[in-house]
Amino acid sequence: MTQGAGPTEADRADRAGLTGETVRRFLHVAGAIRQDQEAALAALGLTPAVARALYELDPDRPSPARDLAARLACDRSNVTALVDRLEQAGLVTRRVDPIDRRQKALLVTDEGRRVREQVREALSGSRLLVGLTIEELSTLRELVGKVSDGGWPQRCAED
């Protein structure tokens, strides 16, 4: 490229090709990670939405369902179905909220704490990344952070 001149047609084509290949690889990695996570969650008997609801609950502090709905950015009626599933699995209980007795608070059970830790492991581990060094993981995190919008999809998934 000549000093002061803009990118040439060849430069633009090279960049477009490289960008396209990078995006395809991102999609492949994202799909593989999601597949691994969903398989690990299914082995725990959980759907991704139910697992996320459990993960968002603070095991050390009971909280009302409306707080969970806010963290999941979804309607409270959707949270009711998720909490029903968690309660049926023995992972949470509903208790009268000591602060507002008109409300029910969600309390993570001992079994819920154990499963929540397994959910954390399922969501944070990936067989695709085990071969990377700490330095490589750090670099990858920085690069992905640089191109991402920085947010976690805050949609409430319905099962």
Position 2 pLDDT exceeds 70: no
Between residues 120 and 4, the one the model is more confident about: 120
Q: Which distant-in-sequence residues (6+ apart) come within 8 Å of 45 by Cβ?
A: 89
The pLDDT of residue 155: 53
Report which secondary-structure segment, H or E, holds 136: helix 134-147
Which residues does 68 contact at the CB level (< 8 Å), separation at least 6? 53, 56, 57, 79, 82, 83, 106
With H, G, I as helix, E, B as strand and everything else as coil, classify residue 99: coil
Average pLDDT over residues 14-23: 91
**Of all residues in the chain, what percent carry a pLDDT higher than 90?**
58
Average pLDDT over residues 71-85: 90
Q: What is the mean pLDDT of the chain?
A: 87
User: Tokens 């699995």 appear where?
Assistant: 89
Q: Is the dihedral of CA 85, 86, 90, 95 positive or negative?
A: negative
Place of tokens 């991102």: 26
**Residue 43's CB: how many other CB atoms inside 10 A?**
10
Which phi and psi (to 5°) does residue 146 adopt?
A: -65, -30
pLDDT of res. 6: 79
Residue 131: pLDDT band with limits 50, 70, 90: very high
* Predicted confidence band of residue 104 (pLDDT cuts 50, 70, 90): confident
Q: What pLDDT is attached to residue 152?
A: 52
For residue 36, give the nearest of 110, 97, 126, 99 by alpha carbon: 126
d(CA 95, CA 97): 6
Pair of tokens at residue 113? 């704490």
The SS3 call for residue 7 is coil
